[in-house]
Amino acid sequence: MARVAVVTGGTRGIGEAISVALKNAGYKVAANYAGNEERAKGFTQRTGIAAYKWDVASFEECVAGIKKVEAELGPVDVIVNNAGITRDATMRKMNRQNWDEVMDTNLGGCFNMCKAAWEGMLARGFGRIVNIGSINGQAGQYGQVNYAAAKSGIHGFTKALSQEGASKGITVTAIAPGYIDTDMVAAVPPEVLAKIVAKIPVGRLGKAEEIARGVLFLVADEGGFITGSTMSINGGQHMY
């Protein structure tokens, strides 16, 4: 039986590439999205992957979302916590709402999704959870105290939860992407981005598919001994 995978923020950017790679590898995929109906519709038409709308920042919506996916596709074996937003601003300009939105989505979303699926994974003795962190959670970034704190939190979350899943057949890992060619990175002011790219030893932005490749490796049934670890995919920009 094909394993069922849920990818949050799975209809755009890195998430879209992950959803497609999982489908091509034989998984039954549910791509979650929060708001962009048009993009989600286009995504489903192009890929044939079902899109499910809920906000990962809402615990109740995550519980209901997992239930719906399980009713339609089957028990959830794989969760890729990819949904993430930025509200970049220097400390002087960042407000409390900028902080809360990023923490609630990027880090709170990981808790909500894992909590909603955890009992089922425990009962079946199998689970693969991959959390998408960031180079900016490892190294920090100017104008991103909220995002860096949330992404850094993801790495601690991963190490802690992996210890609870280890003897139960559930692995919990993270990927820390560097700067990938997506809408999120395209929103960085061009002169700032040029300086960042100049510091990437590989000499270019990463591709979303290059992150998806790492996810496939980590979620494989054969990956049972890989847990608690972070895979950095960043073109050599930060060695951690």
In whole angstroms, what is the distance from residue 209 CA to residue 3 CA?
21
- Looking at the Cβ atoms of 123 and 194, the one nearer to ligand CAA is 194
Catalytic residue among 27, 33, 147, 179: 147
- The strand pairing partners of 128, in sequence order, are 78, 171
Residue ranges that bind ligand CAA, judged by CB under 6 A: 86, 88-90, 93, 134-136, 141-144, 147, 177, 179, 184-185, 188-189, 192
In terms of DSSP bridges, do strands 170-177 and 127-132 run parallel, antiparallel, or are they unpaired?
Answer: parallel
DSSP letters for 2-19: PPEEEETTTTSHHHHHHH
CB atoms within 10 A of CB 203: 9
Smallest gap from Cβ 99 to ligand CAA, in A, equals: 14
Q: CA 121, CA 125: separation in Å to the nearest integer?
A: 6
Nearest residue to ligand CAA on Cβ basis: 143
**Distance, CA of 69 to CA of 184 (rounded, Å):** 27
Smaller CB distance to ligand CAA: residue 170 or 185? 185
Return the number of the residue (65 or 133) whose C-beta is nearest ligand CAA.
Answer: 133
- Looking at beta carbons only, is 30 or 150 nearer to ligand CAA? 150
Minimum distance of ligand CAA from residue 9's CB (angstroms): 12
Quick check: helix, strand or coil at residue 194?
helix
Q: Is 147 in the active site?
A: yes
Q: Any idea which residues carry the catalytic annotation?
A: 147
